[in-house]
Structure 1
Amino acid sequence: MTDLPSKAQIRDWIAQHPQETTKREIAKAFGIKGAARIDLKRMLKELEAEGVVLKSRKTFRDPETLPPVSVMQALAPDASGDLYLKPMEWHGQGAEPRILFQPRDGDPALAEGDRLLARLTATPGEEQDYTARMIRRIAQAAGSVVGIYRKEAEGGRILPVEKGSSRDWLVPAGAENGARDGELVEAEPAGPKGRMGLPKARITARLGDPSAPRAVSLIAIHEHGIPDRFPAEVIDEAERMKPVGLKGREDLRHLPLVTIDPTDARDRDDAVLAIPDDDPDNPGGFVLWVAIADVAAYVKPQSDLDREARKRGNSTYFPDRVVPMLPDALSGDLCSLHEAVPRAVIAVRMVIEAEGRKRTHDFHRGLMESRASLPYEEVQRAMDGEVSDRLGPLMETVIRPLYAAYGALTRAREARQPLELDLPERQIVLDEAGEVTSVDFKERLDAHRLIEEFMVLANVCAAETLIAKKTPLLFRVHEEPDPEKLDALRETAQASGLTLAKGQVLQTSHLNRLLKQAEGKDEQELINLSTLRAMTQAYYNPENFGHFGLALRNYAHFTSPIRRYSDLIVHRALIRAHGWGEDGLSEVDVEMLDATAKQISDTERRSMVAERDTTDRYLAAYLSSHVGTEIGGRVSGISRAGAFVKLDGTGADALVPMRAIGDEYFHYDRDSQTLIGGDSGRVIGLGARVLVRLDEAAPISGGLIATLLEVEGDAMAGARTRRPGKPPKRAKGRAAHAGRAKERKVRRRRQ
């Protein structure tokens, strides 16, 4: 008779041989044959009932271990940039095991929430319990759903607020999370499709009344996954901070530095000063100071504050709120350069010539004290002759020298020829209740341009210093436009009677000449928008590819560390390069530079989209009272869906669907970016002056739908009499054939 092993022996063998756990393999290991297999089966059942082993299909394993091949979910990278995985099934009594993912060349990049099938290797004695290699990715992370909940007999539905989304989500009974009918909710996908093929969702958060004015930005925050609450440990760390003193710093409090910001600014991270240079070798030159809040003194590498700041990447700005990168204890207090308060800074001293060319520069880690916190408008009024009482004593020593230095920098800018787009920035004005009272366009003052020029030069200095000192950093990169986009811009220019040179290395001066040609003409806004669309998206990178738009070879963001993580990295690099302390760029920071560059480039784009969506929703709310009225505008885009029209007064973009363009069918010509009438051969192109009737304005989604009434003063047949949503008649027979012939004729004429 075969001797049976004890239960302890079976358990130990399973734990030591996780890849050989079928009943046959266990029997073979212990030499169990014949009728003894029945006893082995009984023992395995007893072990399973006792919870000592876990049966999965035909295999047995220790519940305190994981099978060699398991389904995992990716977690967010840790402070060192390492990616850990979470087992989708863990039945052990102890802590969930730590699983380090080890990617191989060719593996797809994993994001938080992605699921994968992975092969595990136990690593006893190591910091992690297992290492994992990818077999295949099973599913990418499903995004959250934000929408309006509609209660039904059993469960309900979610109507997504995302513009262009036509798919509802089913909420099964029990997955409502207490949501009430009509509430704004956030949900996550939950299982296979339900009735009518609709996907299922589980409500995870109730966001309140969707019609409340301040719900607009809340929708964007949740829709785009922007973190808007700081963890308790991050708040605690920020509130424990004390002001940095003079020790180890240069005393710069004698310098009459001032901050110039928007009237409602909460954080002030840059201060400026200009002094006429008394060096006889630099006649008409200036010594410029730009002092930037020393955030690195408070946000140390791999701290809770640092991890949260890197996760957010940047602050996000909405008309009614700011989602900051740093807690208010830092962003609004210790790191903010408030008037008459000593504040830690990293400052750059720059010497420029009368024509604005930089001669020298050097960096200082110091302590400053702002002489005044000034709004742009007050400074500009003072230079225009309306001097306030507090600015009077500063005019000759501070304000006028700043403008004189700005004049010199302007001359250098004109010689450099950065891209000079003229696109006014919209400003949504809200009342105390959060309702839109007006849509204005921000006035561009010399006071704004002055600060921008000082900041650009300081950013150049930061990049040049770190390159010279061979210190790793993050560059702000803006590559040249794609040739195809340039060709599209060239065609738009030609259709407007303008020219963009071809067959030479593109420079910003060429684009500026095009913009100058359009200045003062009806096509000015169109050409500016088309030029902007031809540009590539700026991003962050440890490698330097230059900044095309600014016409600069070396450029890094240094001047806004309160609201951009990239600038904090550059500050740490400067601290490391100068040997100013232990809070400089760490080796972990250096190892993570590539990952950090991608992370903060992504969060920047996320914020831009969220801010744009919020503006669209506020504009739709503002225009909802104008539904049925006729509004002028210009065609700003053409697609298969129809024409996009930028409306006068607000700059809002309304979609004119194909069904709402005249009393005939229009065909989309991708090459010429035009719509061509099937009957008339009428051509509607970019920049065309139009009159539309606003048919729909949806504040929840931000969508605007309109009907085209006139193009360049010519009425569209049947547009005013047709009901919204009713399609035009289809051309038939000879009329359709004639329409196609005219279309071909128009195309030949445009070639």
Structure 2
Amino acid sequence: KVLREARSTRGAIDFETVETRILFDDNRKIDAIVPVNRNDAHKLIEECMLAANVATAAYLEASELAALFRVHEGPSAERLEALRTFLGELALDLPGGMDPTPLDYQSVLSRLAERDDAQVIQTMLLRSLSQAVYKPDNGGHFGLNYEAYAHFTSPIRRYPDLLVHRAIKRLATSSGSTPRKLSKDKTRALYPYTMTDLVAAGEHCSMTERRADDATRDVQLWLKCEYLRHHIGDEFAGVVASVTRFGMFVELTDIYMEGLVHISALPSDYYHFDHASQRLVGEHTRQTYQLGDAVRVQVARVDLDDRKIDLELVGAVTPGAGRRGNKSSIRSRKARHDSGDTKRGKAASRSERRSDASDRKSDKKSEKKSRKSASASKKKSTRRKVSKNKGAPKHRDGGS
């Protein structure tokens, strides 16, 4: 409790998300996806890992030995502008001008408790942030609001942590504070890395971290597609989790899976994407689809090879009535991502570092798939009118 209060006083950004885990049957197929309930022991371990990482970073910085830090920079000017425009539509503002602090972000989050669109706003706040990377130049950690932060707690599974342990060992054995003091040559052999070496190592480890996340997500998407292909034609309650110029991604509420309602599958109209408010607006009917809307959808198609889930709307849309999540399973997104030992993986958390669809795949690849999907949709239903945006990308990965 003391550590949590210290985090709150410090002003760390505390996003609330629902973390899930997959349960498998005897045939290694998905049996269910359930929220994870965390008790006080989990929270205590997490806070202790944060404290260990901070103490490590402070020790390394004081030593002036080149080492890898976990760096999380503040939001870019472009993302800030988009965020402020979005918040302005909802009569909210982000303090801090062009250089907001984590406290400014937290001030917005603190005003969301009683709002129906709280989850939507939180999603947009998260998307405005950059991705943490490994660098030898300490730039602090914006999300956790630390002046120095390193990854120390998982040397058996993260190479940056192992490099940090080597740096500490070199410092310890060269200081005379250990029973066995080594010669300068031997201590250098323990940690022979130059600043150039560490820059390269940081870039490589940041890349492999993203690659591992992508691999994890790909496997889980395959499993989810394999599960849903046995439910084609079934209906599910869902919430609009993301809106793009080529459609909207809907999260299936009870099973924590996500699929695409392509713009060509929406009721006949020409739909325009309003980036500022993250919604699609019908040109003639003025029908809108936006983040947080509660919808009912039917599983239309599942492409196991391309990891895509196509959905179609059935029934009316309930604006802003999306689920907020099970409070008992909520945890700090940034703490989970950066504390260390908690087994991570983007797909395990449905919205972990979720970015706009255009950030997941190149426009060129997506545009090709969009044309293919739009063509299939037109053949299936003559009553549908394909949007002016039919050349837009068809798919982001149809899952979490």
The alignment's TM-score, normalised by the length of structure 2, stands at 0.73
Q: 1:725 to 1:589 in 2, by over 3 A?
A: farther
Please report how far the alpha carbon of residue 429 of structure 1 lies from its aligned counterpart in structure 2 after TM superposition: 0.9
1:596 lines up with 2:190 in the alignment: no
**Partners in 1 of 2:277 and 2:140 — Cα distance?**
32
Counterpart of 1:627, as a letter, is I
Please report how far the alpha carbon of residue 428 of structure 1 lies from its aligned counterpart in structure 2 after TM superposition: 1.0
Secondary structure of the 2:309 match is strand
Equivalent of residue 569 in structure 1, options 125, 139, 163: 163
- Corresponding residue for 1:517? 111
Task: After superposing the two structures, state which structure 1 stretch, 457-466 or 690-699, moved more.
Answer: 690-699
- Corresponding residue for 1:650? 255
**Partners in 1 of 2:229 and 2:255 — Cα distance?**
13
Given that 1:638 and 1:675 are in contact with CA atoms closer than 8 Å, whether structure 2 keeps it comes out as yes
Q: 1:497 to 1:712 in 2, by over 3 A?
A: farther
- Corresponding residue for 1:133? none
Please report how far the alpha carbon of residue 424 of structure 1 lies from its aligned counterpart in structure 2 after TM superposition: 1.2
- Corresponding residue for 1:683? 288
- Corresponding residue for 1:633? 238
Given that 1:633 and 1:689 are in contact with CA atoms closer than 8 Å, whether structure 2 keeps it comes out as yes
1:192-211 superposed matches below 5 A: none
- Corresponding residue for 1:441? 35
Equivalent of residue 94 in structure 2, options 490, 495, 500: 500
Counterpart of 1:688, as a letter, is D
1:487 lines up with 2:70 in the alignment: no
1:415 lines up with 2:12 in the alignment: no
1:167-206 superposed matches below 5 A: none
- Corresponding residue for 1:549? 143
**Partners in 2 of 1:607 and 1:727 — Cα distance?**
43
- Corresponding residue for 2:299? 694
**Partners in 1 of 2:191 and 2:86 — Cα distance?**
49
- Corresponding residue for 1:71? none
**What is the root-mean-square deviation of aligned Cα atoms in Å?**
2.6
**Partners in 2 of 1:656 and 1:667 — Cα distance?**
15
Counterpart of 1:542, as a letter, is P
1:666 lines up with 2:271 in the alignment: yes
Structure 1 unaligned segments of length 5 or more: list them.
Answer: 1-406, 715-721, 737-751
**1:178-230 Cα deviation digits (max 9, x unpaired):** xxxxxxxxxxxxxxxxxxxxxxxxxxxxxxxxxxxxxxxxxxxxxxxxxxxxx
Secondary structure of the 1:668 match is strand
Q: 1:575 to 1:702 in 2, by over 3 A?
A: same
- Corresponding residue for 2:122? 528
Please report how far the alpha carbon of residue 434 of structure 1 lies from its aligned counterpart in structure 2 after TM superposition: 0.8
1:62-211 superposed matches below 5 A: none
**1:585-610 Cα deviation digits (max 9, x unpaired):** 43246551111111110000001111
Equivalent of residue 726 in structure 1, options 377, 381, 391: 381
**Partners in 1 of 2:222 and 2:76 — Cα distance?**
31
**Partners in 2 of 1:724 and 1:453 — Cα distance?**
55
- Corresponding residue for 2:317? 711
- Corresponding residue for 1:462? 56
Q: 1:730 to 1:568 in 2, by over 3 A?
A: closer
Pick the structure with more strand per residue.
1
**Partners in 1 of 2:295 and 2:82 — Cα distance?**
22
**Partners in 2 of 1:496 and 1:652 — Cα distance?**
28
**Partners in 2 of 1:700 and 1:426 — Cα distance?**
24
- Corresponding residue for 2:23? 429
Structure 2 unaligned segments of length 5 or more: list them.
Answer: 174-180, 321-376, 389-400
**Partners in 1 of 2:162 and 2:217 — Cα distance?**
26
**1:65-113 Cα deviation digits (max 9, x unpaired):** xxxxxxxxxxxxxxxxxxxxxxxxxxxxxxxxxxxxxxxxxxxxxxxxx
Equivalent of residue 134 in structure 2, options 510, 534, 540: 540
Pick the structure with more helix per residue.
2
Secondary structure of the 2:18 match is coil
Please report how far the alpha carbon of residue 555 of structure 1 lies from its aligned counterpart in structure 2 after TM superposition: 0.8
Q: 1:560 to 1:589 in 2, by over 3 A?
A: farther
**Partners in 1 of 2:215 and 2:156 — Cα distance?**
20
**Partners in 1 of 2:86 and 2:140 — Cα distance?**
27
1:607 lines up with 2:262 in the alignment: no
Please report how far the alpha carbon of residue 495 of structure 1 lies from its aligned counterpart in structure 2 after TM superposition: 4.0
Q: 1:713 to 1:500 in 2, by over 3 A?
A: closer
**1:623-643 Cα deviation digits (max 9, x unpaired):** 223221222222222222211
Give the length in aligned residue pairs.
Answer: 319
Given that 2:86 and 2:276 are in contact with CA atoms closer than 8 Å, whether structure 1 keeps it comes out as no
Counterpart of 1:600, as a letter, is C
**Partners in 1 of 2:244 and 2:42 — Cα distance?**
37
Q: 1:614 to 1:473 in 2, by over 3 A?
A: same
Q: 1:446 to 1:497 in 2, by over 3 A?
A: farther
Secondary structure of the 2:83 match is helix
- Corresponding residue for 2:228? 623
The alignment's TM-score, normalised by the length of structure 1, stands at 0.40
Counterpart of 1:471, as a letter, is L
Please report how far the alpha carbon of residue 662 of structure 1 lies from its aligned counterpart in structure 2 after TM superposition: 0.7
Counterpart of 2:317, as a letter, is V
- Corresponding residue for 2:192? 587
Given that 1:689 and 1:711 are in contact with CA atoms closer than 8 Å, whether structure 2 keeps it comes out as yes
- Corresponding residue for 1:202? none
Please report how far the alpha carbon of residue 508 of structure 1 lies from its aligned counterpart in structure 2 after TM superposition: 1.5
**Partners in 2 of 1:457 and 1:605 — Cα distance?**
25
- Corresponding residue for 1:179? none
Identity of aligned residues (%): 34
Larger radius of gyration: 1
Please report how far the alpha carbon of residue 486 of structure 1 lies from its aligned counterpart in structure 2 after TM superposition: 2.5
Between the two structures, name the one with larger relative contact order (CA 8 Å, sep ≥ 6): 2
